[in-house]
Amino acid sequence: MEPLHFLRELLIVFAVAGAVVFLFHRLRVPTVVGLLVAGVLTGPHGLGLIADTETVVTLAEIGVVVLLFAVGLEFSLPRLVGLGRLMLLVGVPQVASCVVVGAGAGHLMFADARLAALLGMMLAMSSTAVVFKILTDRGEMGSAQGNIAAAVLLFQDLVVVVCMALLPLLAARDGEASMPWRSLGFGSIVIGLLLVAGRYVVPFVVFQVVRTKNRELFLIVLVLACLGGAALTESMGWSLALGAFLAGLILSESEYAAETLAEVLPFRDTLASLFFISVGMLLDLRFVASHVPLIGALAVVVVTLKFAAAALPTRKLAGYPPRIAVLLGASLAQIGEFSFILADRGLALGILDRDQQQAFLATAVVSITLTPALIGLATRFAARAAGTSTEGDGRAGRDGAEAEDTVTARGHVVVLGYGLNGRNLARVLRAADIEYVVLELNPETVRKAAQANEPVHYGDGTRPAVLEHLNIRAARLLVVAISDPISSRRIVQLARHMNPALRIIARTRYLAEVPELRALGADTIIPEEFETSVEIFARVLAEYDVPANLIMELVERIRSDHYEVLRDRNVSSMRIVLPDPRIPEMMEIKSCWIRGGSPADGRSLRELNLRSLTGATVLAVRRGREMFVNPEPDLRIAADDIAVLAGDPAQVDRAMEFLDAVG
């Protein structure tokens, strides 16, 4: 292809993608959907702006390689261990149920075991890009549903690597079956050798490269590692993406993993965008138009199945309340971007035919497009369910401890959330001998805290019965220290209604939450992003010798005004008095050793009257290991003392001359 033609096609692709993604961003539609639509518009089945998609598809293949390389870099053993329980209790059942049901349905429909297995794999994956974007925009990445979603999606990323390795085996016919198995055995040996090399050789090589402080050389080595790993596995009959993932995994254990990921991210995002565009180019609008009932039915079945596959283990196995299960099910109910990679590879290997691929692509696009609306509906449903679940005898049931364990304390502190903030607060309250109870939604955290004899109860604070169980009506203070803005608002509203005299302190990540929390009844709201700003500017002003009492007054004023001052672009109302910059130049501090026979030897500071004689002041007196700061007038100076003097240069010189004179 001529370079000019190649550049022209890329220009068209990115121009259309930029316009569509911008429009979809304004409409609050996920970026992935915008990229898919841009591909449809530019491709041969749309406006036909790009008739030959070979160039874009080739670049998209490289995008997949870089994407899996970045996934490998983001994996780490500590992260896997930290999320291991959620992966086991939610991730494994979610993936397994989707694979089994999808494969079973595929086998009934097509009577092809290979195709059925591929359909099950594709069905199991959810969209990391879409889910993380929505949860981040909603401020829920640190919430219970955010943590579970991260664990499940991370497990899916790991599973997709296994699926990519298995695809050649699925594609092999009966007479060819021995070759993939030999390839699998040989490849396993090579991968083992690679991991050993990654443990002992790669760190040394990367260290030598980093020592040169040459960024270009560092990038060249990264590209070599990424493409070299991809080429190695491809030569063994495996996928390019698998080798890239292994290369990233090897580098993830080095101390340079963070810098490596930072260098890779721009390439990953750009080339991964081309992958989604290339998928959109493959979508035939005429096929979609002629199969609307089929695609609609498939989308409903897929969303329902994936919702149940995530929600049920969250509720039944992990022990989370229905509200969290519903939110998680809605978050993971779509088909993900890695499913597109599996479909593309399956088409290339002859497992999928074109009509099957078209039906899958259309269903996937519909499921992704529906995700924001599904999460919104799930949120409203969960909030309504929490608001109406007041029936019963006050027992919290599965969403809280049993009634016989109901808290009987009065005037106590109720802490919602046993994360870092909750643990630190509990430690201080325990040290101050202040009675408190903690409510936590993570069953594993509750179990560990109970083993440490902490008064931690399991339950969902958005349920009135649970707050009753904590004796919220007799509590003196409620601290909401969770990372779920929707739950925080509901809890504040419930607690204020149940105990009008209760003092409520709420933590939030974002300043935008402050007005609503205040309207719902919170007395003090602490937004993390502005508290960080307050701490930073207080330290900066202190560095410039702004009076400490003025800094404290400013901080208290900002907090009492609910941070309105910092939101106001006109800062004229903030009165900050900086000290005269000439003061350091005008003032001098020196130390003077008092020798025996000095005029100061044996005399008190009052008797010495140094200030009247020389103008200098004695700031401190050091005697052996003892230091007298701002000494009293009756302190007697002795030989071998060190006197610290302050004044302008002339005053200090006169004082030094006077004290050093021996009569």
Over pLDDT 70: what percentage of the chain? 84
More confident residue, 144 or 116: 116
Quick one: 441 and 588 in the same domain?
no
Over pLDDT 90: what percentage of the chain? 28
Quick one: 513 and 568 in the same domain?
no
Quick one: 428 and 366 in the same domain?
no
Predicted pLDDT at 536: 78
- Band (pLDDT 50/70/90 cuts) for residue 279 is confident
Q: Pick the range with the lowest mean pLDDT from 58-67, 143-152, 301-310.
A: 58-67
User: Would the CA dihedral through 81, 87, 88, 92 be positive or negative?
Assistant: negative
- CB-count exposure of residue 594 (10 Å: 0-12, 13-18, 19+): buried
- Give φ, ψ of 440 to 5 degrees: -135, 145
Quick one: 128 and 17 in the same domain?
yes
Report the alpha-carbon distance of residue 186 to residue 176 in Å, rounded.
16
More confident residue, 554 or 212: 212
pLDDT in tens, 128-144: 777 877 776 677 777 88
- Would 44 be classed as within a structural domain? yes
Quick one: 636 and 605 in the same domain?
yes
Could you say which of 564, 579, 594 is where a domain stops?
579
Report the alpha-carbon distance of residue 71 to residue 77 in Å, rounded.
13
| Rama region for 549: left / alpha / beta (φ>0; ψ in -120 to 50; rest) | alpha
Highest mean pLDDT among 97-106, 256-265, 557-566: 97-106
Highest mean pLDDT among 272-286, 301-315, 503-517: 301-315
What CA–CA distances, in Å, run from 434 to 134, 427, 428, 502, 555? Answer: 40, 10, 9, 16, 27
- Band (pLDDT 50/70/90 cuts) for residue 294 is very high
Could you say which of 579, 595, 614 is where a domain stops?
579
Pairing of strands 477-480, 456-458: unpaired
Q: Any residues with CB less than 8 A from the CB of 231 and at least 6 apart, and which?
A: 240, 243
Kindly state the DSSP code that residue 615 receives in the 8-state scheme.
Answer: S
- Indicate whether 211 pLDDT > 80: yes
Quick one: 459 and 601 in the same domain?
no
Predicted pLDDT at 403: 38
Helix (H, G, I), strand (E, B) or coil at 7: helix
Report the alpha-carbon distance of residue 635 to residue 203 in Å, rounded.
63
C-beta atoms surrounding 220 within 10 Å: 12
Contact 320, 441 (CB under 8 A): yes
Predicted pLDDT at 391: 39
Report the alpha-carbon distance of residue 145 to residue 147 in Å, rounded.
6
Residue type at 326? Answer: V
Predicted pLDDT at 94: 96
- Would 388 be classed as within a structural domain? no
- Band (pLDDT 50/70/90 cuts) for residue 492 is very high
Q: Of 94, 88, 87, which Cα lies nearest the Cα of 150?
A: 87
Q: Any residues with CB less than 8 A from the CB of 259 and at least 6 apart, and which?
A: 218
Quick one: 515 and 539 in the same domain?
no
Predicted pLDDT at 153: 87
- Would 615 be classed as within a structural domain? yes
- Would 404 be classed as within a structural domain? yes
pLDDT in tens, 593-619: 998 889 999 999 999 999 999 999 999
- Would 389 be classed as within a structural domain? no
- Band (pLDDT 50/70/90 cuts) for residue 390 is very low
Q: Of 426, 373, 79, which Cα lies nearest the Cα of 253?
A: 79
Q: Pick the range with the lowest mean pLDDT from 13-22, 138-147, 570-579.
A: 570-579
- Band (pLDDT 50/70/90 cuts) for residue 583 is low
Q: Pick the range with the lowest mean pLDDT from 291-305, 311-325, 384-398, 546-560.
A: 384-398
Report the alpha-carbon distance of residue 584 to residue 573 in Å, rounded.
28
State the virtual CA torsion across 461, 464, 466, 471 in degrees, nearest 10. Answer: 110
More confident residue, 406 or 389: 406
- CB-count exposure of residue 339 (10 Å: 0-12, 13-18, 19+): buried
Q: Report the CATH number at residue 402.
A: 3.40.50.720
- Which contacts (CB < 8 Å, 24+ apart) does range 528-534 have? 530/563, 530/566, 533/566, 534/558, 534/559, 534/566
Quick one: 266 and 342 in the same domain?
yes
Quick one: 65 and 148 in the same domain?
yes
Token pair for 123: 């069905």
Q: Any residues with CB less than 8 A from the CB of 411 and at least 6 apart, and which?
A: 435, 474, 475, 476
Quick one: 123 and 147 in the same domain?
yes
Helix (H, G, I), strand (E, B) or coil at 412: coil
Report the alpha-carbon distance of residue 558 to residue 531 in Å, rounded.
10
- Indicate whether 580 pLDDT > 60: no
- Would 172 be classed as within a structural domain? yes
- Would 386 be classed as within a structural domain? no
Predicted pLDDT at 514: 83
Full domain range(s) for residue 557: 535-579
Mean pLDDT in residue range 408-423: 90
What CA–CA distances, in Å, run from 397 to 277, 489, 563? Answer: 49, 23, 40
Could you say which of 352, 381, 410 is where a domain stops?
381
What CA–CA distances, in Å, run from 21 to 15, 28, 273, 529? Answer: 10, 10, 11, 28
Predicted pLDDT at 79: 63
Token pair for 183: 């390839």
- Indicate whether 398 pLDDT > 80: no
- Indicate whether 547 pLDDT > 80: no
Mean pLDDT in residue range 235-241: 68
Quick one: 94 and 171 in the same domain?
yes
- Indicate whether 420 pLDDT > 60: yes
Q: Report the CATH number at residue 629.
A: 3.30.70.1450
State the virtual CA torsion across 253, 254, 259, 260 in degrees, nearest 10. Answer: -70
Q: Report the CATH number at residue 272.
A: 1.20.1530.20
Report the alpha-carbon distance of residue 314 to residue 169 in Å, rounded.
33
Quick one: 328 and 440 in the same domain?
no
Helix (H, G, I), strand (E, B) or coil at 358: helix
- Indicate whether 404 pLDDT > 50: no
- Band (pLDDT 50/70/90 cuts) for residue 394 is very low
The owner of tokens 């709201």 is: 525
- Band (pLDDT 50/70/90 cuts) for residue 406 is confident
Report the alpha-carbon distance of residue 94 to residue 306 in Å, rounded.
8
More confident residue, 368 or 282: 368
- Band (pLDDT 50/70/90 cuts) for residue 456 is very high
Mean pLDDT in residue range 350-365: 89
- Would 528 be classed as within a structural domain? no
Predicted pLDDT at 663: 57
Provide the domain count of the chain: 4
**Whole-number average pLDDT of the chain:** 81
Q: Which helix (H) or strand (E) holds 549?
A: helix 548-560
Q: Pick the range with the lowest mean pLDDT from 185-189, 423-427, 476-480, 643-647.
A: 185-189
- Indicate whether 382 pLDDT > 70: yes
What CA–CA distances, in Å, run from 625 to 215, 246, 640? Answer: 52, 60, 12
- Give φ, ψ of 587 to 5 degrees: -110, 145
More confident residue, 272 or 110: 110
Residue type at 422? Answer: G
Q: Any residues with CB less than 8 A from the CB of 66 and at least 6 apart, and which?
A: 226, 244, 264, 267, 268, 271, 272
Q: Pick the range with the lowest mean pLDDT from 199-203, 297-301, 378-382.
A: 199-203
